Amino acid sequence: MKEFSVTEAYLSAVTIMDIQFGIQRERTRDPGFAEDLHRWMEEIVLAEFAGRILPFDTATASRTGLLPTADKRPFADAMIAATALQHGLKLVTRNVAHFIPFGVECIDPWRFAGSRG
């Protein structure tokens, strides 16, 4: 696998939404952890991807609506897949099985972790 810098990667605005939902869910379970996640999101994720967050626009919404939904995947997964397809990008995820049915090319970065030698 070709190595790449995070500066070559993009993030879907839908991914931001998905992470924020997770942080909010943690606020009732573990407020300290939720605060750590919030700080990580603000100080690392949003800062690192500034200028490289892809919006969920009308064209991407239309593309999402055309994706197969028989397997009842979460809407967020379809929206993220459509964003990658709309921009001609590969999707980097550990949850490859969630995205393959949408026809998006996926890369599992954990599969290659530690494979350099």
Nearest to residue 107, comparing CAs of 94, 85, 92?
Answer: 92
CATH class of domain segment(s) 6-112:
alpha beta
Domain chopping of the chain, boundaries:
6-112
Distances (CA, A) of 18 to 11, 24, 41, 78, 91: 12, 10, 12, 12, 15
pLDDT in tens, the chain (117 residues): 567 677 889 999 999 999 999 999 999 999 999 999 999 999 999 999 999 999 999 999 999 999 987 567 788 999 999 999 999 999 999 999 999 999 999 999 888 665 544
Listed in order, strand segments (DSSP E) in 16-108 are: 53-54, 91-92, 106-107
> pLDDT value at position 4?
66
Dihedral pair phi/psi, residue 12, rounded to 5°: -80, 140
Q: Which two tokens stand for residue 22?
A: 């997770």
